[in-house]
Amino acid sequence: MTAIRVRDLTKVYGEVRAVDGVNLDVADGEFVGVLGPNGAGKTTLLEMVEGLRRPDSGTVEVLGQQVWPRNAAVLPRIGVQLQASAFFERLTAREQIRTFAALYDVSPARADDWLERVGLAEKASARVEDLSGGQAQRLSIACALVHDPELVFLDEPTASLDPQARRNLWDLLSGINDSGRTVVLTTHYMDEAEVLCDRVAVMDSGRVLQVGSPAELVRHLDAPARIIVAPGQLDEAGARGIAGTEAVEVGPDGTVLTTRHPADVVARLGELGALDGVRVQTGTLEDVFLALTGRSYRA
């Protein structure tokens, strides 16, 4: 069964085609990432799928139902974490999640369980304004999950967090679809999408450029691998002599061989006894992303 079915979805603001003919399917239990630079249209797409915005054209089906106009039958089955920390002011973490629980007719005890699950039990009595960025995001995610929805939307949950807090949050996020929950996450961090998502849709200028698993996308990119041989193991001429090598660069950290046949090259290096300290860098989702969206600087 499909959790989300999007067809030819378009939203135009004045001259800007924020979302431009997007098609996307998300299967039940899948963890899907929507990846793109700022202003790519990720949030607008998500908001139309959630039923917050009316599409100019195209259709959205969530859990087999229409989402626009506001469909009260779908709402209890989805959980949403919005980009800003949408909290009631001056409530403590516990009061906050209990308030959201009450909106879904969930008991305070279950709300407190969620506080525990996201590691905020000790911060239960702290006001939301006094939580750190990471803690606030955890609370926000807990508030989105408190009614145990089948489908969860997370809009840039790790934006503006420091690297430690981000990795900390990944542990939490990677666990939330263990129970078969479907998760849709937007992010502009490649590493995040690579770690968390089953499939990634790369978006730019309102369009979905490519969809696939991170590995598929990288393979599809056909980017050369970089093999770095430790200094003193191999001279430049020797390196050039290896079949399949496209380029050779000698630097202070060693000799860098660029190749599309890394397995063959590594095997040859073994024969030459130059494997000590060798490192292989293959393409990453970041390469895919840059290849698809261009390298020009965006404000």
Contacts of 97 (CB under 8 A, 6+ apart): 111, 112, 114, 115, 139, 142, 143, 146
Q: Which of 21, 76, 133, 212 is in the footprint of other proteins by CB under 8 A?
A: 76
CB of 53 to other proteins, least distance (A): 9
Helix pair 133-145, 163-175: axis angle to 10 deg: 10
Assess 109 for contact with other proteins (CB under 8 A): no
| Candidate list 33, 41, 51, 55; residue touching other proteins; CB under 8 A | 51
* CA–CA distance, 57 with 246 (Å, rounded to integer): 48
Least spacing, CB of residue 50 vs other proteins, in Å: 6
Q: Which stretches does DSSP call E strand in 116-161?
A: 151-155
Our finding on whether 225 is near other proteins (CB under 8 A) is no
Rama region for 34: left / alpha / beta (φ>0; ψ in -120 to 50; rest): beta
Contacts 24+ apart (CB under 8 A), 273-276: 274/229, 274/233, 274/234, 274/238, 276/230, 276/233
89 binds other proteins (CB under 8 A): yes
Complex with other proteins: residue 60 or 269, whichever CB lies closer: 60
| Closer by beta carbon to other proteins, 59 or else 71 | 71
Candidates 1, 15, 69, 72; binder of other proteins (CB under 8 A) is 72
Ranges of beta strands (E only) in 83-161 are 151-155
CB 285 within 8 A of CB 211: no
Query: Binder to other proteins among 75, 159, 228, 292 (CB under 8 A)?
Result: 75
Binding test (CB under 8 A) with other proteins, winner from 2, 5, 68, 85: 85
* Minimum distance, C-beta of residue 104 to other proteins, in the bound complex (Å): 7
Under rule CB under 8 A, how many of the chain's residues touch other proteins?
29
Length of the chain: 299
Q: What is the contact surface with other proteins in residues (CB under 8 A)? A: 13, 50-52, 70, 72, 75-76, 78, 80, 82-91, 95, 98-100, 102-105, 127
